[in-house]
Amino acid sequence: MNSTLIVLTQNFPYMPGEHFFETELQYLQKDFHKIILSPVAHIPKNEQREVPENVLVKPFDRNLTPFKVLTYMRRLTLLKDPQARKWFEEEFGTARKYGSKGVLKLINWLSMAVNIRKQIEENYVKNNTNLSEYVFYSYWLSPAAIAVGMLKEKYGEDIKGVARAHGGDLYAYRHTPPFLPLQGKTITNLYKLYTISSDGKNYLQNRYPELIPAKLSVSRLGTVGVEQTNPQNREEQLHIVTCSYMVEVKRLNLLIEALTRTKLNVKWTHIGNGPLWDKLNDLAEKLPSNVEWEFLGFMNNDQIRAYYQRTPIDLFMNISASEGVPVSIMEAFSCGIPVIATDVGGTSELVNEKNGKLLDKDTAPDQISEAIEAFADMSDQEYDSASNHAYEMWNEHFNADQNYAEFSKHLVLLGGNQQHEG
């Protein structure tokens, strides 16, 4: 039997975001004869990435109106749906603890879930006598995952649904209010939830002790290796690279403040764009003369790997206030670039004293500056050791060839699929 994989993303293959799924898709498409990508929150006018030949893109309708008020009124009608009303009533007591914002969030998430569930029913469930040919995979623990959980409750064991959980879709404390609707109930109704870190799995086990342990598994993300490691920097100038979307949580302003305090000759390169581009550009303009800087803008995965291959880089930095498990650090490690990062989310599962330096989540500019200067004081032998340990960490735990191939095989077995050839 050749099963079909239905992947529910937010935007992919449309821009922006979810660029790391592009690597995973290359492994999934080898094992499934057919994959259908259904982004549930895409903007149709946005650029669309290329996908493999056996991947079909079938976006879902977001059921929006030109006016927010009308959209909200439309979402209120979800309570006419018997299953949605039941799920709402079960979660209402929890939502109410977070005031009107909690209740509104529950309504919004449930309405989106029902909209997605109905489109799945229309496209894949109605008049289908062999539901087991489909495997439903929500890339996020989001309303799309809720929809898959609702399907399982409604149609039983024939619905084979799984989801991933990353960071923002997993940790309630990252939100205001700290509430992610129907999380426990959704996981209960999935076949399995794959967290990308042990930290994420432990968080869920502690938050929902009633969950069956077999429901949760760790399946780490990964990056593709390169043909050569990062070339040695023979300049006196310390080259630091950061790579992220330019948003508040990444705290690039904190790094800029730290760089103003160092006496080292430093070159700072940032890869990525985002809404804070102009603000951060203005801040960087005020850096002292011993700090050279450049913003390279957006690069795709292949461009980032190529840059790391040809450009001497001494240090990669990530001082985010919150993370899941940063793919950007995996990319740096795959080239043997040591890392200074904040101890948030699952970052400690990558970075340690052998391959870099972990900073406290609430680190200050002076501490960041001191960490950079301590790194610059390393002997060649100490640096080579950190570089080698960085590569070893990637190769043993975050190599895409291992992680995504194993994950894909789990989904293949779930669908009873014969391995795709070619």
Please give the Cα distance from 243 to 238 (Å, whole number).
Answer: 17
Burial class (CB in 10 A: 0-12, 13-18, 19+), 74: middle
pTM: 0.86
The predicted pLDDT at position 324 comes to 83
- CA 186, CA 163: separation in Å to the nearest integer? 10
Domain with CATH 3.40.50.2000 in the chain: 4-222+400-415, 238-397
Dihedral (C-alpha) 395, 400, 402, 403: value to the nearest 10 degrees? Answer: 110
Positive or negative, the CA dihedral 167, 412, 156, 8 is positive
Report the SS3 class of residue 8. Answer: strand
For residue 150, give the amino acid letter: M
22-60 residue pLDDT tens: 999 999 999 999 999 999 999 889 999 999 999 999 999
Instruction: Give me the pLDDT at residue 419, please.
Output: 44
How confident is the prediction for the chain on average, in pLDDT?
91
Which residue has 């809720």 as its token pair?
Answer: 146
- For residue 177, is the peptide bond before it cis, meaning its omega torsion is within 30 degrees of 0? yes
Mind giving me the DSSP string for 87-153? HHHHHHHHHHTTHHHHHHHHHHHHHHHHHHHHHHIIIIITT-S-GGGEEEEESSSSHHHHHHHHHHH
| 268, containing H or E segment | strand 266-271
Percent of the chain that is helix, strand, coil (3-state, to 5): 45, 15, 40
Locus of tokens 């040695």: 232
In sequence order, what are the beta bridge partners of 359?
342
The DSSP bridge partners found for residue 166 are none
What distance in Å separates the CA atoms of residue 419 and residue 3, rounded to the nearest whole number? 10
pLDDT (tens, 9 = 90+) of the chain, 422 residues, equals 468 999 999 999 998 888 889 999 999 999 999 999 999 999 889 999 999 999 999 999 987 655 565 566 666 667 789 999 999 999 999 999 999 999 999 999 999 999 999 999 999 888 777 777 899 999 999 999 999 999 999 999 889 999 999 999 999 999 999 999 999 999 999 999 999 999 999 999 999 999 999 999 999 999 998 766 777 777 789 999 999 999 999 999 999 999 999 999 999 999 999 999 999 999 999 999 999 999 999 998 889 989 998 999 999 999 999 888 899 999 999 999 999 999 998 899 999 999 999 999 999 999 999 999 999 999 999 999 999 999 999 999 999 999 999 999 999 998 765 444 33
pLDDT for position 93: 97
Top-level CATH class of 4-222+400-415? alpha beta
The length of the chain in residues reads: 422
For residues 234 and 312, the answer to whether their CB atoms sit within 8 Å is yes
The pLDDT of residue 121: 94
Q: How far is CA 30 from CA 18, 26, 52, 214, in A?
A: 20, 7, 10, 27
Q: For the domain 238-397, what is the CATH superfamily, name and number?
A: Glycogen Phosphorylase B; (3.40.50.2000)
